[in-house]
Amino acid sequence: MRESRYRRFSEHLRQKFECRVYKVALDAGLSCPNRDGTVGDDGCLFCDPAGGSGRTTGEVQPTVTEQMRSGMEGLRKRYHAERFIAYFQSFTNTYGSCRQLKTLYDQAVAFEEVVGLSIATRPDCLSSKVLDLIQGYTRGHYTWVELGVQSMREETLRTIERGHDVKATAQAVRALRQRGIFVCAHLILGLPGEDLQDMTQTVHEVSALGVDAVKFHMLYVTRFSRLAQVFKEGNLRLLEREEYITTVIHLLEHLAPDILVQRLVSEAHRDILVAPDWLRDKSAIIREIEDTLKARNTCQGAAL
């Protein structure tokens, strides 16, 4: 077992459930208010219309029940997974009527082996009715909401056309925590106009809000996103591989030590990835981040 210098989520799950727990990624076929004209028409600058920031290719998806069955089967074969967290990943998974959402979530947790539910959404898409609905699952399941925070800098949110502000994020985190729902903040590194100081500020702010976990993502360009055009025109500088590794280590050092780390680097579907090419070998990047933490004898929270 590799030495852990940050609070790795997989280890936490292993300790909590005393077995191998894996997430089953689901596409519920929902839309997004930043795509259907409610908040915006074109989506966030980086969003791929086929996958909605998830990593599917936009093919028509089978039902949630079918996705759960085949997802669990695949994870059992590949990783000897024993228990599962149903992960609603693509697009905005709280964007629907409570009745529709309940049907989808119930289908996912109907399996005996499912111990948890994780729902990815936008901070401005959590009405009190939806919060009540999700809170209901905390009684029987390890329940998370994964919030697309991306940045805590207003100017950046405007640049990437998120359609919500920092206040919406703060309100969403507070409301979720009040209801006993665990919160994972998704943060994108290397967003246009941001430097290391801005990213560090975001990490400090989400730590102060009391999120339970973070996921770090590298900003990447997919074929059908609007960002692809910006990249093609030469108006986007992406982080280099080494720069990304150094940035993640710096941010880990500034992250509160009790916050779980669910992801160190994003996974892009290789068929739609335009750049950066180095993102294709995710495992090597994770290994290098972990090796560098060890070589520098540093760890999560070391700079606090």
Q: Which two tokens stand for residue 249?
A: 């280590």
Nearer to ligand SF4, 36 or 106 (CB): 36
> Interface with ligand SF4 includes 55 (CB under 6 A)?
no
- Is residue 32 within the footprint of ligand SF4 (CB under 6 A)? yes
Nearer to ligand SF4, 27 or 253 (CB): 27
Cβ atoms of 86 and 116 closer than 8 Å = yes
User: Which residue's structure tokens are 């997974």?
Assistant: 81
Please state the closest distance from residue 219 (CB atom) to ligand SF4, in A: 12
Q: What's the DSSP call for residue 258?
A: T
- Is 93 a binding residue for ligand SF4 by CB under 6 A? The answer is no
Question: With binding defined as CB under 6 A, does residue 202 bind ligand SF4?
Answer: no
Q: Is 52 in the site for ligand SF4 (CB under 6 A)?
A: yes
Residue 123 binding ligand SF4, by CB under 6 A? no
Which lies closer to ligand SF4 via its Cβ, residue 34 or residue 247?
Answer: 34
Q: Does 35 bind ligand SF4 (CB under 6 A)?
A: yes
Element (H, E) at 121: strand 114-121
Of 47 and 272, which has the nearer Cβ to ligand SF4?
47
Q: Which of residues 103-122 bind ligand SF4 (CB under 6 A)?
A: 122
43 binds ligand SF4 (CB under 6 A): yes
Q: How far is the CB of 52 from ligand SF4 (least distance, A)?
A: 4
User: For residues 158 and 144, what is the distance between their CA atoms, to the nearest angstrom?
Assistant: 27
Pick the closer one to ligand SF4 by CB: 5 or 164. 164
* Binding-site size, ligand SF4 (CB under 6 A): 12
Give the binding range for ligand SF4 (CB under 6 A) out of 2-10, 32-40, 70-78, 259-267: 32-40
Q: Which one among 71, 96, 116, 148 touches ligand SF4, defined by CB under 6 A?
A: 148
Give me 171's structure tokens: 């309100």
Cis peptide before 276 (omega within 30 of 0): yes
Identity of the residue numbered 40? G
Question: Which residue's entry shows tokens 């994780």?
Answer: 118
For 196-282, list the strands marked E by DSSP. 213-218, 221-222, 260-263, 273-275
Output the six-digit token pair for 257. 């030590």
For CA atoms 93, 97, 100, 101, give the dihedral sign.
positive
Of the candidates 146, 165, 50, 49, the residue with the CA atom closest to the CA atom of residue 93: 146
Among 22, 87, 91, 220, binds ligand SF4 (CB under 6 A): 91
Where does this chain touch ligand SF4 (CB under 6 A) — which range of 3-11, 31-39, 70-78, 232-240? 31-39
> Pick from 303, 289, 114: which is nearest to 189 by CA?
289
- Torsion angles phi and psi, residue 157, rounded to 5: -60, -35
Cβ atoms of 231 and 190 within 8 Å: the answer is: no
Which of 13, 26, 28, 47 is close enough to bind ligand SF4 by CB under 6 A? 47
By the criterion CB under 6 A, which residues form the site for ligand SF4? 32, 34-35, 43-44, 47, 52-53, 91-92, 122, 148
